[in-house]
Amino acid sequence: MTGGRRLDGPVRRFLEFAVQACQQNVRRVHILDRADNGALLLELFTRDGHGTLVTADVYEGLRKATIEDVGGILELIKPLEDEGVLVRRSRELLEMEIDHFVIIERDGTIIGCAALYPCTQQGYAELACVAIHPEYRNSGRGDTLLQYLENRAIRSDIRKLVVLTTRTAHWFRERGFQPSDRSDLPNGRKLLYNYQRNSKVFIKLLDTADDNNSGDAR
Ligand SMILES: CC(C)(COP(=O)(O)OP(=O)(O)OC[C@H]1O[C@@H](n2cnc3c(N)ncnc32)[C@H](O)[C@@H]1OP(=O)(O)O)[C@@H](O)C(=O)NCCC(=O)NCCS
Tell me the pLDDT tens digit for each residue of 25-79. 898 899 998 899 999 999 889 888 888 989 888 889 999 999 999 999 999 999 9
Q: How many domains does the chain fold into?
A: 2
**Residues 196, 92 share a domain:** yes
Tell me the pLDDT tens digit for each residue of 12-23. 999 999 999 999
Tell me, in angstroms, the distance from the centre of ligand 1 to residue 12's CA: 38
Q: Residue 147: its pLDDT value, please?
A: 96
**Residues 67, 50 share a domain:** no
Q: Residue 209: its pLDDT value, please?
A: 56
**Residues 64, 160 share a domain:** yes
**Residues 64, 28 share a domain:** no
Residues 57-68 as b or e (16 or more Cβ within 10 Å = b): eeeeebeebeee
**Residues 204, 156 share a domain:** yes
In the predicted structure, residue 3 carries a pLDDT above the cut 70: no
Tell me the pLDDT tens digit for each residue of 178-202. 999 988 888 878 878 888 888 999 9
Nearest alpha carbon, ligand 1 atom 42: 131
CA angle 18, 135, 99 (to 5 degrees): 85
**Residues 76, 14 share a domain:** no
**Residues 191, 83 share a domain:** yes
> Which carries the bigger pLDDT value, residue 208 or residue 82?
82
Nearest alpha carbon, ligand 1 atom 19: 171
Tell me, in angstroms, the distance from the centre of ligand 1 to residue 140's CA: 9
Instruction: State how far the Cα of 32 lies from the Cα of 40, in Å rounded to an integer.
Output: 7
Q: Is residue 3 part of a domain?
A: no
Tell me the pLDDT tens digit for each residue of 90-102. 999 999 999 999 9
214: Cβ below 6 Å to ligand 1?
Answer: no
Nearest alpha carbon, ligand 1 atom 5: 142
Nearest alpha carbon, ligand 1 atom 27: 171
In the predicted structure, residue 215 carries a pLDDT above the cut 80: no
Q: Is residue 157 part of a domain?
A: yes
Domain that holds residue 112: 60-214
In the predicted structure, residue 213 carries a pLDDT above the cut 60: no
> Strands 124-132 and 200-205: what pairing?
unpaired
**Residues 144, 75 share a domain:** yes
Tell me the pLDDT tens digit for each residue of 110-136. 999 999 999 888 889 999 999 999 999
Q: Is residue 132 part of a domain?
A: yes
Q: Please report, for the domain that includes residue 106, its CATH number.
A: 3.40.630.30
Q: What is the pTM of this model?
A: 0.83
Question: Which atom, in ligand 1's list, is nearest to the CA of 168?
Answer: 23
In the predicted structure, residue 217 carries a pLDDT above the cut 60: no
Instruction: State how far the Cα of 124 lies from the Cα of 113, in Å rounded to an integer.
Output: 20
**Residues 49, 72 share a domain:** no
Nearest alpha carbon, ligand 1 atom 21: 171
**Residues 71, 39 share a domain:** no
148: Cβ below 6 Å to ligand 1?
Answer: no
85: Cβ below 6 Å to ligand 1?
Answer: yes
